[in-house]
Amino acid sequence: MSDAADPFATAEASAATLKKLAGAPAFDAAVVLGSGWMAAADAIGSAEREIPLAELGGFPPPTVSGHTPAVRYLIKGDVRVLLFLGRVHMYEGNTPATVVHGVRTAIAAGCQTVVLTNAAGGIRPEYAVGQPVLISDHINLTGRSPLTGPPPPEGFPSRFTDLTDAYSARLRALAREEDSTLAEGVYAALPGPHYETPAEIRMLRGLGADLVGMSTALETIAARHLGAEVLAISLVTNPAAGLAAEPLDHAEVLAAARSSAARIGALLSALLPRL
């Protein structure tokens, strides 16, 4: 998606194509899966349709292993769900508008709830590898926002979005009703793709961050701008830099995500009908 394109019009066009290909008039909730979460997708349930993102427009192919360029349409109870099997990142050379295109497309197609997932490094010492953590707030250190550039077209909310309640307390309470062991934490979003230094992790801890990753914050901003409720879940795939004996490795992050993603899938399978 070029900087000159109207990202809202592009999302509207993608949403219209998505509804046509899925054979559905609208959708209720969207889930965006993080690195290595295919087991979660399979645990959530069988798809009515699976649509390649390339057919929708505005979606570049991901260049990171563990992300599949497709969206599944499935029904959980009375909730019509869009399940994005991966995402793209700014560090792949994408603009913020491209990074949040999936979220904007889902909301343009009717979704009023957005569930974001990611693989994250654990800054809080008590977090264990494989542990899911609800995101209660974020610190956006990417230096970017999906709301920069020309103002949104007429009919869309002001770009000056209030992020006081970026992550829905109501949705976090519902998640804890399904799994009372869920912890909460603050997520720090950095641009990547390199991992942080131990000094940066000490800085992040001092700023109040409990988790660190390279996604989610911009998608949350875009979703809240359009009025959708957001639930975000991090899967701790590694201790953050300086907190583990071994060097950080993306293959090990993917392996940790794959081994624990089914648990998150089971949680989402139980939670989605209640949204």
Whether 67 is a known active-site residue: answer: yes
* Token duo for residue 223: 């979703």
- Domain of 93 in residue numbering reads as 7-274
pLDDT for 7: 96
204 within a domain of the structure (yes/no): yes
**262 domain-assigned:** yes
Task: Tell me which of 12, 48, 55, 92 is the catalytic residue.
Answer: 92
- Asked, for residue 106, whether it belongs to a domain, the answer is yes
259 carries an active-site annotation: no
Q: How many domains does the chain have?
A: 1
Annotated catalytic residue 2: no
215 is known as an active-site residue: yes
Is 225 annotated in the active site? no
Per DSSP, which regions of 109-196 are E strands?
A: 113-122, 132-140, 183-189
State phi, psi for 190 to the nearest 5 degrees: -115, 160
Q: Which residues pair with 134 in a beta bridge?
A: 184, 233
In this structure, what DSSP letter does residue 273 have?
A: G
- Beta-bridged to residue 61, according to DSSP, are none
Active site (annotated) includes residue 177: no
Res 241: pLDDT: 79
What is the pTM assigned to this prediction?
0.94
Question: Contact at 8 Å (CB) between 228 and 104?
Answer: no
Q: Is 138 among the residues known to form the active site? A: no
Length of the chain: 275
Element (H, E) at 49: strand 49-52
Query: For residue 161, is it within any domain?
Result: yes
Q: Are strands 211-213 and 113-122 parallel, antiparallel or unpaired?
A: antiparallel
250 is catalytic: yes
- Out of 43, 48, 91, 244, pick the active-site residue: 91
Q: Are strands 49-52 and 70-76 parallel, antiparallel or unpaired?
A: antiparallel
Whether residue 1 lies inside any domain: the answer is: no
**228 in a structural domain:** yes
Which among 1, 38, 183, 214 is annotated as catalytic?
214
What is the predicted pLDDT for the residue at 104? Answer: 98
The catalytic residue among 47, 67, 196, 209 is: 67
Query: Domain with 186 in it: what CATH number?
Result: 3.40.50.1580
pLDDT for 5? 79
Single-letter amino acid code for the residue at 221: I
Among residues 119, 166, 175, 241, which one is catalytic? 119
92 classed as catalytic: yes
pLDDT value for 2 = 47
pLDDT of residue 38: 81
Question: pLDDT per position in the chain (275 positions), as tens?
Answer: 544 579 999 999 999 999 999 999 999 999 999 877 788 888 999 999 999 999 999 999 888 877 789 999 999 999 999 999 989 999 999 999 999 999 999 999 999 999 999 989 999 999 998 899 999 999 999 999 999 999 999 999 999 999 999 999 999 999 999 999 999 999 999 999 999 999 999 999 999 999 999 999 999 999 999 999 999 999 998 888 778 767 766 676 667 667 777 888 999 999 999 98
In a domain, 2, yes or no: no
Gap between the Cα atoms of 258 and 235, Å rounded: 10
